[in-house]
């Protein structure tokens, strides 16, 4: 949204601009991106429908051109500052539904023309679609995270000793990723994989998960199967598939002695190697049914 707003300001050679989105419940507009506006004004400005220039445009859903505000006292100025003389304000609509208002202003009177208003209205149509798509993507991400939290809760309900384990592993994983200067996309993928790395344990019998003594060979095989089970669970949905390799191989060892495949060295995905370190570290400093936490001094 910030990029859209700045591009509009440059395109129309405006001294300031602001993109405002509609809060349907509160029936008011809030600034979400600005150019030439101080941060305090952006944070503290909310305009009710019908109030001021932007509020009037939002209420009527009609573009507005004020070539010289000093000569037109119909509307109270609530855009940038008192120096403004020329203003354009257009509604942002998607599918006939108002989502916000786009404003530009100049300290020069008669700076903008009707042609500028037409150009801004055209830009507003494209901007509204882009903003709407971004909002939908954010909503999908929230649904995605809610689904992940539900899966984590299901895992931890079976094993109270690992409650909070996934979040801690994710925290350490992202700390490592930060040190390695990984990209934002790589960090997001690691976050998903960290939260869900033990999802396969949902299919392991609680007696095995909570056993205080040494596991027998059959029980150990059940434990070793959980990365593959997790991969199969996640394969049923498209949103989480990119995390599958990281989860599937997070118990592989650099020397080839891990499971489920026995990969070694760089053949193990980097994300899986990061998860393995974070997972092992968290397991060592936390209580388990078969031993107390080792503590930092024992590592």
- Catalytic residue list: 201
Q: What is the DSSP letter of 49?
A: T
Rounded Cα distance between 139 and 145, Å, is 10
Rounded Cα distance between 195 and 219, Å, is 24
Rounded Cα distance between 84 and 106, Å, is 5
Sheet holding 64-66, edge to edge: 46-48, 28-35, 16-23, 97-106, 86-94, 64-66
Long-range contacts of 251-254 (CB under 8 A, 24+ apart): 251/224, 251/227, 251/276, 251/279, 252/276
Provide the sign of the torsion angle of the four alpha carbons 196, 199, 200, 201, taken in this order: positive
* Share of the chain residues as helix, strand and coil, in percent rounded to the nearest 5: 55, 15, 30
Extract the tokens encoding 247: 């989860």
Nearest to 193 by CA among 142, 244, 149, 157: 244
CA 55 to chain centre: 29
Residue 191 backbone class (left: φ over 0; alpha: ψ -120 to 50; beta: rest): alpha
Helices (H), the chain: 2-11, 39-44, 52-60, 114-158, 165-179, 184-196, 206-209, 217-224, 226-234, 244-248, 270-284
Question: 173 by DSSP, 3-state: which?
Answer: helix
């Amino acid at each position: 949204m910030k990029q859209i707003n700045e591009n509009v300001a440059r395109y129309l050679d405006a001294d300031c601009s602001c993109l405002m989105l509609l809060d349907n419940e509160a029936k008011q507009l809030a600034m979400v991106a600005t150019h030439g506006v101080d941060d305090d004004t952006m944070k503290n400005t909310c305009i009710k429908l019908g109030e001021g220039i932007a509020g009037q445009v939002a209420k009527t859903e009609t573009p507005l051109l004020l070539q010289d505000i000093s000569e037109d006292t119909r509307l109270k100025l609530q855009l940038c500052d008192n120096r403004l003389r020329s203003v354009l304000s257009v509604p942002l609509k998607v599918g006939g539904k108002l989502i916000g208002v786009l404003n530009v202003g100049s300290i020069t009177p008669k700076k903008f023309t009707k042609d500028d208003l037409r150009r801004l209205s055209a830009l507003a149509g494209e901007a509204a679609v882009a903003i709407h798509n971004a909002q939908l993507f954010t909503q999908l991400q929230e649904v995605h995270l809610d689904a992940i939290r539900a899966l984590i809760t299901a895992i931890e309900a079976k094993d109270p000793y690992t409650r909070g384990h996934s979040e801690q592993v994710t925290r350490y994983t992202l700390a490592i990723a930060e040190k390695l200067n990984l990209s934002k996309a790589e960090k997001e993928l690691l976050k998903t994989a960290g939260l869900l790395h033990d999802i396969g344990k949902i299919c392991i019998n609680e007696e095995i998960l909570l056993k205080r003594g040494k596991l027998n060979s059959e029980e150990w095989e059940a434990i070793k199967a959980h990365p593959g089970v997790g991969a199969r669970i996640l394969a049923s949905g498209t949103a989480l598939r990119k995390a599958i390799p990281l989860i599937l191989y997070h118990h592989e060892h650099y020397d080839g002695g891990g499971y489920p495949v026995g990969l070694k060295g760089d053949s193990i995905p980097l994300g899986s190697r990061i998860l393995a370190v974070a997972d092992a570290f968290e397991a060592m400093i936390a209580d388990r049914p078969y031993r107390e936490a080792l503590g930092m001094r024992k590592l």
